[in-house]
Amino acid sequence: TYDHSYSLSSRTTSEELLRKLNEQRDIIALMEVKMKEMKATVRQLRITEAKLREEIREKDRLLSMGVIRKKYGM
Question: Which spans of this chain sit near its own copies (rule: CB under 8 A)?
Answer: 3, 6-7, 10-11, 13-14, 17-18, 20-21, 24-25, 27-28, 31-32, 34-35, 38-39, 41-42, 45-46, 48-49, 52-53, 55-56, 59-60, 62-63, 66
With b meaning 16 or more CB within 10 Å and e meaning fewer, what string describes 56-65?
eeeeeeeeee
The C-alpha atoms of residue 43 and residue 19 are separated, in whole angstroms, by 36
Minimum CB separation of residue 21 from its own copies in Å reads 6
**Taking the mean position of all CA atoms in its chain, how far away is CA 32?**
9
Shortest distance (Å) from residue 10 CB to its own copies: 4
